[in-house]
Amino acid sequence: MTQYKIPVMPGDGIGPEIIKEGRKVLDAAGERFGFDIEWLEYPHGADHYLKTGELISEDTLKELSQYRAIYFGAIGDERIKPGVLEKGILLTIRFYLDEYVNLRPVKLLEGVWTPLKDKTPKDIDFTVVRENTEDFYIGIGGRAKKGKSKKTLEVARNLYNIKFGLDIDSDSDEIGYQLGLISKEGTRRVIRYAFELAKDSKKHLSSVDKANVLSDIYGFWREEFTSIAAEYPDVKTDFNFVDAITMWFVKNPEWFDTVVAPNMFGDIITDLGAMIQGGLGLAPGGNINPEGTSMFEPIHGSAPKYKGQNKVNPIATIWAGSLLLSQIGEKEAADAIVKAIEQNIVNGEVKTYDMGGSNTTSDVGSDIARLLKEI
Ligand code: IPM
Ligand code: MN
């Protein structure tokens, strides 16, 4: 029997409740398809931070980098200033492990209600490839008061090291600024990944940018896209401004097959994607380093107000578990999990409040684990 060791980081809020159900279903998949998962538990999140002062250490990151995949719940806690845990844990892991693809399927399952009138599962079925390490997420910027000041900004990565020395001379009362950057290496690898996906799908790749205004950064993105497109003559392509694509997602979702976007626009449009596929309770994501360690999580956050109530929908997390299995090569089990989720929804008997039911988080996890064994 194949043995896997998988680090699991349940995190904050509802994280532990949804991860418990995800593990239940992945363990059931193991029984059915002949593999065994040893879960390695990591305590990182708000409580751990308040107790020890540690967000996540270099040693822990090194340790995590030995594994193929990590299962992640959610982080964020009202006791801690917004951004501290998100940047200190989630983004730190994404960057350290160089998980340069954020893969977000936007797929309306059979039986799920969508707010888009007259759209069906065959209309809403595409994948967003969000760049996951660069753009306005690199985390450099600052504030400057009136007068002269200096600032050094640095981006230290495996891929490159970049330093900006700023000489500021300003007569505004005060400014706040943030630098975004994309690199040739970073852009090409994610666009190539998206072309490979599109090639194996409906051979259509849509690029997202705002090259009409932010032309230095996204004009560069377009040039790299065009250069890689030349290697894929069978894949049809188009460019979309980010504002316009939000409109098309609502009006003509059936147009899309694979969509590739810079980090921040990808973040924004995938929340919209989550809504048209039935809500955040149903939207999974994978932070992928194809050659290294990937991490799988629901798109939604830690929903502190529901913590401990066994109430929220575990489907996004269970689906993220399916993406995890697919990444480590358990394709059959991964597909069976999505089928079991769909069967649970079509049956319509065991569902959480967001889908109009009154069952608990664990009821839904158990039902999907049971259905999985019958598929
Ligand atoms: C997401 C989240 C994160 C992001 C936050 C929590 C840092 O919104 O995974 O989409 O912006 O990437
Ligand atoms: Mn987001």
Nearest bound ligand to CA 87? 1
How far apart are the CA of 347 and the centre of ligand 1, in A?
Answer: 32
pLDDT over 70 percentage in the chain: 100
Of ligand 1's atoms, which has the minimum distance to the CA of residue 83?
A: 7
Span from the CA of 114 to the centroid of ligand 1 (angstroms) = 23
Q: Ligand 2 mean position to 299 CA, how many Å?
A: 7
Q: What is the DSSP letter of 253?
A: G
Backbone phi, psi, residue 205, to 5°: -120, 125
pTM, 2 dp: 0.97
Q: Which domains does the chain have, with CATH numbers?
A: 1-108+281-375 (3.40.718.10), 114-134+182-277 (no CATH), 137-180 (no CATH)
What band does 351 get if pLDDT is binned at 50, 70 and 90? very high
Rounded-to-integer distance, Cα 14 and Cα 309, Å: 8
Give me the amino acid identity at 352: T
Q: How far apart are CA 266 and CA 255, in angstroms?
A: 18
The angle, 0 to 180 degrees and rounded to 10, between the axes of the packed helices 315-327 and 361-374 is: 40
Residue 370 confidence (pLDDT): 98
pLDDT at 315: 98
Nearest CA to ligand 1 atom 4: 267
Question: Does residue 131 have its Cβ closer than 6 Å to ligand 1?
Answer: no
**Is the separation of the CB atoms in 71 and 296 below 8 Å?**
yes
**Which ligand has the shortest distance to the CA of 271?**
2
pLDDT-derived band at 166 (thresholds 50, 70, 90) equals very high
Which ligand 1 atom minimizes the distance to the CA of 87?
7
Residue nearest to atom 5 of ligand 1 (CA): 86
Whole-angstrom distance, CA of residue 103 vs CA of residue 197: 10
Residue indicated by tokens 């990591």: 42
With tokens 């992640």, the residue in question is 72
Q: What is the pLDDT of residue 372?
A: 97
Question: pLDDT tier at 53 (50, 70, 90 boundaries)?
Answer: very high
Q: Which two tokens stand for residue 248?
A: 């098309």
90 lines ligand 1 (CB under 6 A): yes
Average pLDDT, the chain: 98
Percent of the chain topping pLDDT 90? 99
Cβ–Cβ under 8 Å, residues 141 and 159: no
Ligand 1 pocket check for 91: Cβ under 6 Å: yes
Which pLDDT score is estimated for 298?
A: 98
Q: Dump the DSSP string for 48-111.
A: HHHHHS-S--HHHHHHHTTSSEEEEEE---TTS-TTHHIIIIIIHHHHHTT--EEEEEEE--TT
Buried b / exposed e over 271-292, threshold 16 CB at 10 Å, is eebbbbbbbbbbbbbbbbbeee
What is the C-alpha to C-alpha distance for residues 3 and 39, in angstroms, rounded to an integer? 11
Q: Residue 225: its pLDDT value, please?
A: 98
Nearest alpha carbon, ligand 1 atom 12 = 267
**pLDDT tens-digit series, residues 213-254:** 999 999 999 999 999 999 999 999 999 999 999 999 999 999
Torsion from C-alpha of 275, 280, 282, 284, nearest 10 degrees:
110
Ligand 2: distance of its center to the CA of 268 in Å? 6
Ligand 1 centroid to residue 374 C-alpha, Å: 35
Rounded CA-CA distance 212/237 in Å is 18
pLDDT confidence of 117, banded at 50, 70, 90? very high
How far apart CA 347 and CA 358 sit, in angstroms, is 15
